[in-house]
Amino acid sequence: MFATPRPRRLAPMLAALTALSLTTLALAACGNTDNTSPSGGSTELTGSGPATLWVRAADEPMDKALVAAWNEANPDRKITMLTVPDAQYVQKYVQAVRSGDAPDLAAVDIANVKSLTGQKLLTDITAQVDALPYKSALAPAGVQISTVDGKIYALPHQLDVSMLYYNKSLFTKAGLDPSKPPATLDDVVSAARKITALGGDTYGFAFAGNCAGCNAYTLLPYIWASGGDIMNADGTKPTLDDPAVAAALNAHKTMWDEKLMPPAVKDDNGATWLTGFQSGKVGMVALGSFAVSVYKAQPDLDFGVSAIPGSKGTSSFLGGDVIGISKGAKNAKTAWDFVAWSMSEDVQKNVVAKTGQLTVRSDTADNPTTQAEPRLLAANKLIADAKVPVTAKYNSLFIDPTGPYLQFIRDWVFSGDPAKAIATGKSGFDSRLAS
Residue 38 predicted with pLDDT over 60: no
**Residue 234: count of CB within 10 angstroms of its CB:** 8
Rounded to the nearest angstrom, the gap between the alpha carbon of residue 189 and the centroid of all alpha carbons in its chain is 25
- Start-end of H helices in 327-367: 332-342, 345-347
Per-residue model confidence (pLDDT) at position 43: 67
pTM over 0.95: no
Q: What is the pLDDT of residue 59?
A: 84
Give the lowest-confidence range in 12-16, 24-28, 390-394.
12-16
Q: What is the CA radius of gyration of the chain?
A: 22
For residue 60, what pLDDT band results from cuts at 50, 70 and 90? confident
When the pLDDT of each residue in the chain is averaged and rounded to a whole number, the result is 90
Distance CA 182, CA 205 (A): 12
With 0-12 CB in 10 A as exposed, 13-18 as middle and 19+ as buried, what is 157?
buried
Q: Give percent of the chain with pLDDT exceeding 70.
A: 90
Give the angle 319-104-69 at the CA atoms, nearest 5°: 75
Which residues neighbour 317 within 8 Å (Cβ) at sequence distance 6 or greater? 4, 161, 162, 216, 217, 218, 220, 221, 386, 387, 388
> Do the domains 11-160+319-385 and 163-317+390-434 sit in the same CATH topology, yes or no?
yes
Average pLDDT over residues 381-398: 94
Give the pLDDT confidence of 256-299 residue by residue, as tens digits: 999 999 999 999 999 999 999 999 999 999 999 999 999 999 98
CATH class of 11-160+319-385: alpha beta
Q: Which of 58, 133, 79 is nearest to 332 (CA)?
A: 79
Sequence spans of domains, the chain = 11-160+319-385, 163-317+390-434
Reported CATH class of domain 163-317+390-434: alpha beta
